Structure 1
Amino acid sequence: MARSASLNEEMRAESRQKILAAALEVFAEKGYHGATITEITRRAGVSRGLASYYFPNKHLLVDELIDAYLDGVAAVVDVPGTPDERLAGIIDGVLGGLLENLPVQGVILSLVVQPSTHPIFAEVEARKDERLSLLEDSLRELFAGRGAEDPAVEEVMLRSVLEGVIYKAVVYGPQYPVEQVRRWLYRTYGLPEPETTLSGEEPAPVGRLRASDRGF
């Protein structure tokens, strides 16, 4: 019996996701240059031909990974409520995602900043210019609603601070005090103190940050 079109589509989508998930793993372990399509294919459990059909080269894999990442960034601002509630939701969305997917954040960050893959990031960012502009405008409207003197600068600074937090968390791994930084951001923006933690556990005291050779 022939498979239905919807089942075929579902299987294709599943195969693509397996390949992308495997690519993230291999990029995390071996870096962009050390990763091979052969290893990604083996890790995904699919045939080389199928992987090459969807992603003929690593460039296209990086393009798709960064594309999905930017979609996630843009989606974070889509929270309802007052300007203060939205700001708290954005902070929690970014930091909560960081706690859940620290290795993924590290891979994406490396792909964004590496000279060999940064042009791919620039291509994807240009392709998504309209949606990213909506994100920027949404944040600027949020800060205007909070009475900011220069909403554009506030938008740039919020994104810069959050991206800096992501960078430091990637460098220092689980020892980075995400929850304490979250509370600092709440105080800095005059938001009510959060009643719960993002992880559901009380954070350990802040220590001295030192990089580890054991990774994440």
Structure 2
Amino acid sequence: MLIIFDWDGTILDSSDKIVACMQAGAREFGVEACAAEDIRNIIGLELSIAIATLYPELSADGVEALRAAYVRSFILADQQPCQMFAGVEESLRALKAAGHDLCVATGKSRRGLDRVFAGLPISSLFSASRCADETASKPDPLMLAQLCAERGYEPASALMVGDTEYDLEMASRIAMPSVGVSYGVHSVARLQRWQPLAVIDYFSGLLPIVGELSR
């Protein structure tokens, strides 16, 4: 079975860092820092789209300047790596050992994902990934369609796992089953709008769901 995972807020406990770096980038750029909840709402979108959503008054040049300030802040903060959520590594290894094909679909840039991959013991478990600077941003389902085509699966026989409504919406738009996680940035109510198979409270809760789907 093809299982496609979101990254930030699903596998990596990085939302607090993203919020802090966006606020630091805003201060460096010279605009008012947005509230943490507003920033959490845009996690998962491609970075320039996220910034334009937070600051609709900015010109295209302004968005790119604030993006650069955020990236500088994030790279500096990356000297203290984020941790994976509890049970992630063990569960991913169990899924891989059971023969499942694991991929990543993320709003991160390719450079950003590769930088994180380099410091984690799970990168070799993933057979493919798509980043927001390589394809259309979530909730457009293009990155899911591309991963399915690359790995040789129909969307209906794959599974999307994520913590935001952007993840579940893009799965819904190509009739791909999905599972939400409740420990990320969007509320269970927002996730339930997209009719996931389940919303799990801990990562290892995915294992019995995949087991049932694989019968």
Q: Common fold, TM-score beyond 0.5?
A: no
**TM-score of the superposition, structure 2-length normalised?**
0.26
Hey, which of these two has a bigger chunk of helix by percent? 1
> Higher Cα Rg: structure 1 or 2?
1
Hey, which of these two has a bigger chunk of strand by percent? 2
**TM-score of the superposition, structure 1-length normalised?**
0.26
